[in-house]
Structures are given as structure tokens and as C-alpha cells.
């Protein structure tokens, strides 16, 4: 087993070396940094020598901002260059803007409620299934890894990743589809835009402004579908045609994370089998890597390592392909990334084909499976009943929701109200009004 473990470590190190060897980033102040697997060597050219200010001699925040100017790539989003907040606030003395955003998200009620919102499988039958909360944490972990590799702003990337599902409906995709149908004549429902509504308006925690008053860059990062529209803006500033590299990282981290953990949960639920998964090239590649590294694993260990390899294969492909794009396009600013002729952070064509096939496979065999449909029918019926009930009896909603009726209208207010429900609270409210 020790030999097999050493083989695994050696394999990972070799992959890292292959991915990062001889790749270069151009830095501010004419500094070139060469990235190696074992160390990072910075070579100064004509730049003046920069000395970090000791934290005791300056504010900690200024020191952190200065550190960003040295460590981040030129196409990264620095805290000091942020477009700011919708409602101006004094800067925090010991946290950069995006650190503060991340902390506000983690401490928000809408984030905590994700613990009781379904990812795919309801937790009534098993405590080990992912929830929207654990999914968001896993997305943030993958996103931070990629952000560090690309030397961009980890705090901003993590903030977008943690907040991306804050506005998701109860009961997963089925709940989202039901709310969208119920709102078909009133603007529809999209959980990405709903996440933006929660952080901008609906989660009231502070006396001086609505929402969390997050930085512009975090809020723009939640608008991935809107960014594709011509001349899309937020607070008068363009959010497209491409998003910042940090938002691109959070977006693709979401995809690769749920490919892996939804497969893991579906195997645990016995909706998928390893034999069925073998029809997918991406799974066969992950299994082959597991078999090359280990020879005597039990079934549970084999699945866990293969799921890990499923993530690693996709991450390695993203890193290799995206670094090539960075070398080709040589973006020197966040604006260059947003105006690039193609998405910078992306799969290679081969991996994109494998991932698209795997996604279709999951929709066919997991998300639209009969057992999930049975759960969804019950859940969506309850949401539908409650939606119509609150439309008929708006006084049964909470006081904060009622206070928005005049500004947002009846249906949008009811939709906002239901989007904040956990699965558990849907059951409780439905039992109250429909016994």
C-alpha cells in the first residue's frame, strides 16, 4: 500500500510538472515569473525593487493590497482596482475588499440556508448526500486551486463560488424549473439572477443598506448568462462579452465539481452502477488512472479514488488548455480578458466533448431518472400550492416579504419569498396550509 501511495504522489507530481513546465506569465513592473512544480522563481528585469511594508508600519489592508500587486498576474482583478460597492463604506483596516465579501457571504442567512436545500438527492434517506451548501464549499475549493495556479485573485474567486447558488430554489433543478414555469408571465426565474437579488436586496442584515453590499466584481461574477448579452451592464459598467478570469474559474469549477459529486451520490443511491458509467469515456479515463496507481482496493475505495481522478483529469485539462490561451492572447488587464476573442478558462476540445457527453449521461440516468422524478413531483406540487396560496393570501408571508410588495409586485415577491425556503420549510408551510 505504501508503494501504491508513493506511486500516486509521483504521478501527481509528474502531471504538475508537465502542466507547468516552461510556462511564463508577464507581470506588472516588467517582472517575469517562471512557474515550476517544485518552486516559483521570480526574476526581476528593469523594475525598481519593491519592498513590502511591515504591517506594524502601515494598515494591514494596505500591506495586503501591496502584496497583491506583486503576486497577481496583470490580468487578475486586484482589490485596490475594484469598482467598489453600490453603497460606499469605509475600508476595513485588516481585510481587503474581496476578503470582506467572502466573510459577508459566509455569515449571511441565505448562505446558511443552503445546508437544507437539495443538491440532487434529499437527505431524508441518507446523511452523506451533498446539499447546496456542501456543493458550494466544494466548488470554492476547486476554484481556489485554479485561481492559485493562474495567479489571480483567490478571495474574489472564492466569493463568487460561495455565492453562486445562494438564490437557488428548494428541491434542486426541479424546484427551479417549477418556479420558472410559475413566473413565465412575470419575468421567469433563474437561480443565478436570484443569487444576485439575495445579495443585493433580500438578505437584510445591515442598517445602512439592503443586501450584503458586495463589491461590483462579485456581483458581476454572478451574472454569467447576462454577460453574454450585447452591451450587458451592471451599475453602468460592462460585464461582458466575457467575464473576469475569476468568474470564469468559478463557473467552470461549478461544472466539474457537480459532474464528480453527483456521480458519487448517484452511486451511493444505487441509481448509477460502475458498469453503466463504463459507457462514458471520461469515467473510463478516471478508472484507468485508478487501476494504474492501485491494485488492491475494495469497491468503496476504488470509487472514491476514481471520483478524485475524475476531478483531477478535468482540472489538469483546464490548466493546460487555459495556460496555452493565456500565452496566445497575452492579456495585460482584466479588460483584456473580458474582451478576448474566446473564453480563457475552458476545456480543450477533446475534454469538452467528453464532459458534454458525461453531462448528457447524468441528465438521462440521474436527474431525469424515475426515482428523482418521483421525488420531484411531490416537491414541485408543494411549491406550486404554496405559490398560489401566497398570491391569494400575501398577508401569510413574512413581514420583510410583505414590505416589498409595492415595489416588486405580487408574483415577484412571492417568488423571492419561496426561493429563500429550505426543503424542510416547504414541508412545514405546506402542512400548515394544506392539511
Instruction: Give domain status of residue 385, yes or no.
Output: no
The H or E element spanning position 26 is: strand 23-26
Give 50-62 pLDDT, tens digit per residue: 444 445 445 888 8
SS (H, E, C) 202-255: HCCCCCCCCCCCCEHHHHHHCCCCHHHCCCCEECCEECCCCCCHHHHHHHHHHH
Instruction: CATH number of the domain at 147, please.
Output: 1.10.3210.10
Q: Would you give per-residue pLDDT tens digits along the chain (435 residues)? A: 555 555 555 554 555 454 444 343 443 333 333 333 333 333 333 334 444 444 544 588 888 888 888 999 999 999 999 999 999 999 998 899 999 999 999 999 999 999 999 888 776 667 888 999 999 999 999 999 999 999 999 999 999 999 999 999 999 989 999 999 999 999 999 999 999 999 999 999 999 999 999 999 999 999 998 999 999 999 999 999 999 999 999 999 999 999 999 999 999 999 999 999 999 999 999 999 999 999 999 999 999 999 999 999 999 999 999 999 999 999 999 999 999 999 999 999 999 999 999 999 999 999 988 888 888 899 999 999 999 999 999 999 999 999 999 999 999 999 999 999 999 999 999 999 997
* DSSP H helical ranges for 330-348: 334-338
User: How far apart, in whole angstroms, are the C-alpha atoms of residue 149 and residue 319?
Assistant: 8
Instruction: Report strand pairing: 23-26 vs 40-43.
Output: unpaired
28 lies in the same domain as 73: no
236 lies in the same domain as 316: yes
Closest by CA position to 137, among listed 164, 156, 100: 164
368 lies in the same domain as 325: yes
State the number of CA atoms in the 13 A half-sphere of 251 facing the CB: 21
Instruction: Give domain status of residue 17, yes or no.
Output: yes
41 lies in the same domain as 61: no
Contacts of 141 (CB under 8 A, 6+ apart): none
* DSSP H helical ranges for 298-369: 299-329, 334-338, 349-362
Domain residues for the domain of 31 are 1-50
Three-state DSSP at 45 gives coil
User: How far apart, in whole angstroms, are the C-alpha atoms of residue 246 and residue 160?
Assistant: 8
What's the domain count of the chain? Answer: 2
165 lies in the same domain as 217: yes
Question: In 10 A of CB 360, how many CB atoms?
Answer: 11
Three-state DSSP at 88 gives coil
3-state helix, strand, coil in the chain (%, to 5): 60, 5, 35
Closest by CA position to 422, among listed 132, 126, 217, 205: 132
Number of residues in the chain: 435
176 lies in the same domain as 243: yes
Of the residues 374, 404, 423, the one at which a domain ends: 374
Amino acid at each position: 500500500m505504501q508503494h501504491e501511495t508513493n506511486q500516486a504522489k509521483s504521478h501527481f507530481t509528474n502531471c504538475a510538472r508537465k502542466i507547468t513546465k516552461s510556462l511564463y506569465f508577464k507581470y506588472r513592473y516588467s517582472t517575469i515569473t517562471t512557474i515550476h512544480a517544485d518552486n516559483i522563481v521570480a526574476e526581476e528585469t528593469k523594475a525598481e525593487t519593491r519592498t513590502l511594508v511591515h504591517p506594524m508600519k502601515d494598515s494591514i489592508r494596505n500591506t495586503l493590497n501591496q502584496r497583491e500587486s506583486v503576486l497577481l498576474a496583470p490580468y487578475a482583478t486586484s482589490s485596490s482596482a475594484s469598482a467598489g460597492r453600490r453603497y460606499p463604506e469605509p475600508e476595513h483596516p485588516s481585510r481587503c475588499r474581496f476578503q470582506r465579501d467572502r466573510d459577508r457571504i459566509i455569515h449571511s442567512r441565505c448562505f446558511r440556508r443552503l445546508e437544507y436545500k437539495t443538491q440532487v438527492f434529499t437527505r431524508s434517506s441518507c446523511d452523506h448526500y451533498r446539499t447546496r451548501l456542501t456543493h458550494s464549499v466544494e466548488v470554492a475549493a476547486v476554484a481556489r486551486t485554479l485561481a492559485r495556479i493562474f495567479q489571480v485573485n483567490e478571495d474574489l474567486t472564492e466569493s463568487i463560488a460561495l455565492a453562486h447558488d445562494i438564490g437557488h430554489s428548494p428541491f434542486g433543478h426541479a424546484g427551479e424549473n417549477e418556479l420558472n414555469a410559475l413566473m413565465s408571465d412575470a419575468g421567469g426565474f433563474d437561480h443565478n439572477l436570484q443569487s444576485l437579488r439575495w445579495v443585493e436586496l433580500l438578505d437584510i442584515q445591515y442598517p445602512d443598506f439592503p443586501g450584503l453590499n458586495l463589491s461590483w466584481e462579485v456581483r458581476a461574477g454572478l451574472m454569467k448568462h447576462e454577460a453574454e448579452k450585447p452591451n450587458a451592464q451592471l451599475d453602468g459598467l460592462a460585464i461582458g462579452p466575457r467575464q473576469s478570469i475569476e468568474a470564469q474559474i468559478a463557473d467552470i469549477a461549478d461544472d466539474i465539481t457537480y459532474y464528480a459529486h453527483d456521480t458519487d451520490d448517484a452511486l451511493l443511491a444505487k441509481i448509477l452502477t460502475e458498469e453503466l458509467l463504463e459507457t462514458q469515456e471520461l469515467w473510463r479515463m478516471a478508472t484507468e488512472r485508478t487501476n494504474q496507481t492501485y491494485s488492491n482496493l475494495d469497491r468503496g475505495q476504488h470509487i472514491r479514488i476514481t471520483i478524485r481522478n475524475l476531478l483531477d483529469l478535468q482540472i489538469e485539462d483546464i490548466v493546460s488548455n487555459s495556460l496555452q490561451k493565456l500565452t496566445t492572447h497575452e492579456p495585460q488587464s482584466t479588460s483584456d480578458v473580458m474582451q478576448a476573442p474566446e473564453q480563457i478558462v475552458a476545456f480543450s476540445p477533446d475534454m469538452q466533448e467528453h464532459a458534454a457527453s458525461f453531462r448528457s449521461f447524468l441528465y438521462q440516468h440521474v436527474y431525469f431518472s424515475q426515482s428523482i422524478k418521483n421525488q420531484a413531483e411531490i416537491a414541485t406540487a408543494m411549491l406550486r400550492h404554496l405559490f398560489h396560496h401566497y398570491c391569494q393570501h400575501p398577508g401569510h408571508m413574512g413581514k420583510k416579504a410583505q414590505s416589498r410588495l409595492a415595489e416588486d409586485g405580487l408574483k415577484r415577491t412571492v417568488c423571492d419569498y419561496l426561493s429563500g425556503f429550505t426543503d424542510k420549510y416547504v414541508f412545514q408551510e405546506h402542512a400548515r396550509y394544506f392539511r
